[in-house]
Structures are given as structure tokens and as C-alpha cells.
Amino acid sequence: MSASPWIVLAAAALEAAVGYPEALHRRVPHPVAWIGALISALEQMLNQAAFGEALRRVFGVMTLMTVVAASGAAGWLITRYGGPWAVVAVGGLGLAQHSLWDHVRAVAKPLNAGDLDAARLAVGKIVGRDVERLDEGGVAAAAIESLAESFNDGVVAPLFWFVIGGLPGLFVYKAVNTADSLIGHREPRWRSFGWASARFDDVLNWIPARLAGVLVALAGKGGWRIMLRDARKHASPNAGWPEAAMAGALGVRLGGLAWYDGAPSERPILGEGRATVAADLRRALKVYRLACGMLWLMLAVGGFAWPH
């Protein structure tokens, strides 16, 4: 059940224009919150140490299958009974162009104004590291890394699976990506239960992440060599592609030492340029906006080539 690129482009344009208004969010939580609530309820019920590692892995697979089936069925029902305009309106909810721009710009504004405390507070909403340890360059680097990775997770991959699988494909991707965010961790509590979600998320992001890297390199007019050299250094099989491309396009270094819950984590260095400064975050946002535009152009070209 693929979707016409024109339908997908219309959904992307709608989401970019209005996002998910806060007034609406207060009354009707975003559908991703519904998926998250289901995953959390199943995790609390089935992910218990008394069950043992093998059984918890089985329950984790069952949880993933349940969430995927429910999400795919919801997408099918909306497509079947709602018509194309419903697909456009609801499909836009699965994208994050607008919210990603808003969240990262909320970091850039105080950072450029020299308000480091406000910038730390803003970046703490989009990254999991200990932000109180970050200086100006560290805040910029954290936001740039989040922007590059989320360009794939929140824009490229959802649009890719929207075209490939229609609204059911988009909903399934969002369900798997949400499951990976909530339970696909390596800590003992989730290692077995979240294994299937983490691996399936890796599979679904394999092609989109590399496409995202290409788009970043094109939009940034560079970064190809760094992307091809450094992408595989990243702990994730996918996140390194857009992050390394962004590092190369901006001529900066990303990765390196970060602190999480008071513990240091030495991550591989992506790129070979200088350390980041506040101005680099503004440059990254320009690259992001242009990369989104290129993605829209691809959808438009696909729409003309789509069989009628």
C-alpha cells in the first residue's frame, strides 16, 4: 500500500507549515504519545526480572509485534475509510520537520545571545547528556548532533516509509522508532526485552540514514569524504551517516567526550576540523532547511514519474 509522492509531499508541506500546535497538543496528545503509552504499559507488565532473560526477550518480540500490528491497522483503517485528505492530515503527524526546527532554534537563539544557561536548558530537552558540563561549543555540538540524527529519524525515514508503505508504513516506522527510544537500550533492564525493537529499528533506518547523509552532504556542499570515512565509527549503524556528513559539511569535529548521569563516555570523533562554536549551529540549521527542500524536490520529481 504505497502512497503517491504528491500525497506525501502535501503531508510534509502541511506539517512544515503548522507542526502540531501546542493548543491542540493540550487537548489531544500527539499519536506518538499513544504509542509510547502502549509500549510502556506492556513493558511494565511483561519486562519483569522474575521471568528470566530468555522469556523477557520473547515478551519483547511479542510487544513489538503488538505495537506494529496496532499501528499498521490504524494506518490501514484511516486510509481505507478516511480518503486522501485524511491521509495527508494524519500523515503530517508522523513527521517532525517543524518541531525539530523549533527545538534546535530554541537552542541557537540564547546561545548566539551569550545566554549559556538558557541554551543549556534548551538543549537538555533534546539530548540526554549532562548539559551542566557543556560550554558554548559543547552546547552547539550537542544540538548539531541531535539535529543531524533527528533529520533521519524525524524527517527522512518517516517520509521514506510513507512513500513505500503508505500510512500503514509510516505508522509502523513511528511505532518501531518509538519502541527503540523507550526500550531499545543496552542497560540490564532493557537488554533482552528491547532487543527486537532495537534491531528492527536498525533495519528500518538503514536506507534512510544513508539517504539523509547524502542530502546533508549535498545541502552543505561537502562532507562526502568525512561521511564515508567516519560514519561507521559511530556506535549506531545508522546515526553516524548524517552526523558525519554534517561534521564534514561544517568543517567541525563532533562526538568525543560526553557525560551521562555523572559518568564519562568517550565517543569516536567524527570529522577533522576545529571544535564547534555558536555560529556553527546557525549554519547547521541552514543545511537542515536546504536538505529538507531537496527532499521535497525528490518527492515532486517522484510525483511526476508516479504511474497514474
Report how far residue 205's alpha carbon sits from residue 284's, in angstroms, rounded to the nearest whole number: 22
Task: Please give the angle made by the CA atoms of 122, 123 and 126, to the nearest 5 degrees.
Answer: 110
Q: Contact at 8 Å (CB) between 233 and 215?
A: no
CA distances from 214 to 12, 79, 156 (A): 20, 31, 11
As a whole number of Å, the CA-based R_g of the chain is 19
Model pLDDT, residue 25: 65
Amino acid at 48: Q
Whether the model pTM is above 0.75: yes
Q: Contact at 8 Å (CB) between 217 and 228?
A: no
Domain that holds residue 225: 5-305
pLDDT tens column, 116-158: 999 999 999 999 889 999 999 999 999 999 999 999 999 999 9
Model pLDDT, residue 29: 75
| pLDDT band (50, 70, 90) for residue 1 | low
Residue 79 has pLDDT above 80, yes or no: yes
Of the listed ranges 77-86, 184-193, 232-241, 290-299, the least confidently predicted one is 184-193
**Dihedral sign, Cα of residue 27, residue 30, residue 31, residue 32:** negative
Q: What's the structural domain count of the chain?
A: 1
Residues paired with residue 270 on neighbouring β-strands, in sequence order: 254
Give the closest residue to 47 by CA, choosing from 181, 193, 184.
193
Determine phi and psi for 127, rounding to 5 degrees.
-130, 160
pLDDT tens column, 205-227: 999 999 999 999 999 999 999 99
Mean pLDDT of the chain, nearest integer? 93
pLDDT tens column, 222-275: 999 999 999 999 999 999 999 999 999 999 999 999 888 888 889 999 999 899
